[in-house]
Structure 1
Amino acid sequence: MKIDDLKLFVLVVELGGFSSAADALNLPRSNVSRRINDLEKELNINLLTRTTRRLTPTPIGQEYYNSLKDILPELDRAHELVKTQSQSPTGKIKVGLLHEADILLHDVIHSFLHDHPNISLETHLSALGYHDILTYGLDACVHIGAISDSSFIARRVAPIKGKLYATPEYVSKYGRPGSLADLDEHFMVLLRRPDGRLDNHWVFNKGEVTVNSRLVSNSAYYIRHAVFQGDGIGMFAELMMKPFVERGEIIDLLPDHETFFDEVSLVYPRRKGLSFAARLFIDYVLEEVEKIQGLS
């Protein structure tokens, strides 16, 4: 009996089907179905009730699942404890990243993989934060905002603070605003939020302002591209823009003005437990982001 097949059975139950589990693990559906069938034959027990719409565990299958979901994380931790004695951690990690977080964490991910050559990492771009953890079999994910589900653990990464930026080329051509009131004289690039609201009213630590613009987009990527092309001024997360400011590619226009967006956290499921590699990655990210903030 293979431990990986037991983990597969747990995932099939949690996701409610062979296809969902196959998608989460990037496996053929036939592979998942065959392995579960082999497991049932080996146990001589029907673990799942199969219908055209969904798989559900049989009563004994539910008991088996309840036991495995507690036992398997402990078994993983025992195995990994032995592996770590060699001072060369191994494992695979699958992490969910929100839009912009993929760029924000790129250098940290690159550094982590360099320091841990026996760990592999896959990133999954997610629009729903921690809600996608079970759907896609993620070990952890970046999430912005509050966590309403107590079955998840959230580790605070940093507050997201917004500031105003433009390129040196834009400033050379149109000048630099000296105050929030000066923004009326500048070309702004604004975001249309998913709920339809126009993000044109900002409350800063030193005042608030409502701005207008002839260029609006619901794509944060497009807004960033437009600003980096020198087309106008945009609002961005300070943590994301810090490397570009340091390289002189972008200018923090009003350094003393910042607005609070939300909290960003690393989230993982409480009941699933974490592999050693995933715990190592989360601790690494928290430490590196804290260093970046300390240098701000």
Structure 2
Amino acid sequence: MRIEDLKLFMLVAKLGSFTAAADALNLPRSNISRRINDLESALQGKLFTRTTRRLTLTPIGQGYLTSLQEIIPGLEHANDSIRTQNQNPTGKIKIGLLTESDILIHWVLQDFLTRYPNISIETHLSNLGYYDIMNYGLDMAIHVGPISDTSFIARPIASFIRKLYASPDYIARYGAPRSLEDLHQHNLIMLRWPSGQLENLWRFKQAEISIESRLISNNSNYIRHAVFQGAGIALLPEIIAHKHVAEGELVEVLPAYEMQLENIWLVYPSRTGQSFASRLLTEYLLEQIPMIK
């Protein structure tokens, strides 16, 4: 039996369905089902109990999974050692990017691919950060905001501040607020974090204000475009907005006010579970992203 089929079994067990595993690997569901059936035939035992609604591990399957979780990392480490000795690392990496982080790290990923021509990268664009690691079988993800699951490793790779911005057209129509209290008279655009929490309390270094909004989104990219189109005032990362201010496409509102520094995290399940290629990319991102200005 092939190690790829053993890792496929582990992925199906982790995601809980053939369909989810097929989506994560971009393969037909029939391919996943056939390979699991072949594995069960080779083992002469059922690994999963299948119903129309659920897919669960059998006792045999659970024991097999536990054994593989100890065996596979060691086997991959041995394989990685050979690849390292050959100075020719190979592999595929799936990384989750936030809807604006792709702007910041695109060139880092391109440089990495140039350095390692036998490694390929697939990007998964989402606003959910590390929440998508388990949903889509990602190797790692860029995340902003709190991390409640302590089973993940989270390493800070950059930081940023958010400030208030509007379009010149919006300011021309409604005027510019002169104080935080004036914001109550304006159209404000509000973010809903991946955790589901609504950001209805804007905490600045100098003060905080409770706000209401008729336009809410869980997608920061949508909020940015809404601001460009004159829909209202919103908090945007200064690292993204500053060039648009310089080009006259955005106006900084109440420039004296800025949010507390926020971290951008690189999150992954565990170092021992990472492939050699994933570890290379992890270290490369940690080294290169802080250099981006």
TM interval, shorter chain, is 0.7 to 0.9
CA deviation after TM superposition for structure 1 residue 261, in Å: 6.3
Partner of 1:193: 191
1:106 aligned onto 2:119: no
Checking the alignment, whether the CA contact within 8 Å between 1:188 and 1:234 is kept in structure 2 is: no
Identify the match of residue 181 of structure 1 among 150, 162, 179.
179
CA deviation after TM superposition for structure 1 residue 79, in Å: 1.3
CA-to-aligned-CA distance 1:267-286 (integer Å, 9 cap, x gap): 11138711121112222222
In 2, Cα distance between the equivalents of 1:56 and 1:211? Answer: 45
Partner of 1:143: 143
CA deviation after TM superposition for structure 1 residue 159, in Å: 3.4
Partner of 2:72: 72
Checking the alignment, whether the CA contact within 8 Å between 1:170 and 1:231 is kept in structure 2 is: no
Relative distance call for 1:138 and 1:246 in structure 2 (3 A) is: farther
After superposing the two structures, state which structure 1 stretch, 9-18 or 268-277, moved more: 268-277
In 1, Cα distance between the equivalents of 2:54 and 2:211? Answer: 51
Relative distance call for 1:149 and 1:212 in structure 2 (3 A) is: closer
- Percent identity between matched residues is 51
In 1, Cα distance between the equivalents of 2:285 and 2:186? Answer: 33
1:87 aligned onto 2:71: no
Relative distance call for 1:246 and 1:72 in structure 2 (3 A) is: farther
CA deviation after TM superposition for structure 1 residue 94, in Å: 0.6
CA deviation after TM superposition for structure 1 residue 31, in Å: 0.7
Partner of 1:259: 259
Report the secondary structure of 1:73's partner residue.
helix
In 1, Cα distance between the equivalents of 2:212 and 2:150? Answer: 41
Number of equivalent positions: 289
Relative distance call for 1:182 and 1:70 in structure 2 (3 A) is: closer
Amino acid aligned to 1:193: L
CA deviation after TM superposition for structure 1 residue 10, in Å: 0.9
In 1, Cα distance between the equivalents of 2:198 and 2:44? Answer: 58
In 1, Cα distance between the equivalents of 2:186 and 2:109? Answer: 32
CA deviation after TM superposition for structure 1 residue 154, in Å: 1.1
Structure 2, unpaired ranges of 5+? none
Amino acid aligned to 1:191: I
Checking the alignment, whether the CA contact within 8 Å between 2:189 and 2:233 is kept in structure 1 is: no
Structure 1, unpaired ranges of 5+? none
In 2, Cα distance between the equivalents of 1:211 and 1:131? Answer: 27
Checking the alignment, whether the CA contact within 8 Å between 1:94 and 1:139 is kept in structure 2 is: yes
Relative distance call for 1:258 and 1:112 in structure 2 (3 A) is: farther
Partner of 1:121: 121
CA-to-aligned-CA distance 1:83-117 (integer Å, 9 cap, x gap): 12333322111112233223333233233223322
After superposing the two structures, state which structure 1 stretch, 26-35 or 156-165, moved more: 156-165
The 5 A counterparts of 1:1-296 are 1-165=1-165, 181=179, 184=182, 190-194=188-192, 202-207=202-207, 216=215, 218=217, 220-228=220-228, 234-241=234-241, 257-260=257-260, 262-270=262-270, 273-292=273-292, 295=293
Report the secondary structure of 1:67's partner residue.
helix
Amino acid aligned to 1:192: M
Q: Give the aligned CA root-mean-square deviation in angstroms.
A: 3.7
Amino acid aligned to 1:237: P
Relative distance call for 1:216 and 1:50 in structure 2 (3 A) is: closer
Checking the alignment, whether the CA contact within 8 Å between 1:190 and 1:198 is kept in structure 2 is: no
Relative distance call for 1:13 and 1:251 in structure 2 (3 A) is: same
CA-to-aligned-CA distance 1:168-201 (integer Å, 9 cap, x gap): x779979x98x9639959x9763233369575x6
In 2, Cα distance between the equivalents of 1:264 and 1:127? Answer: 13
In 2, Cα distance between the equivalents of 1:17 and 1:95? Answer: 21
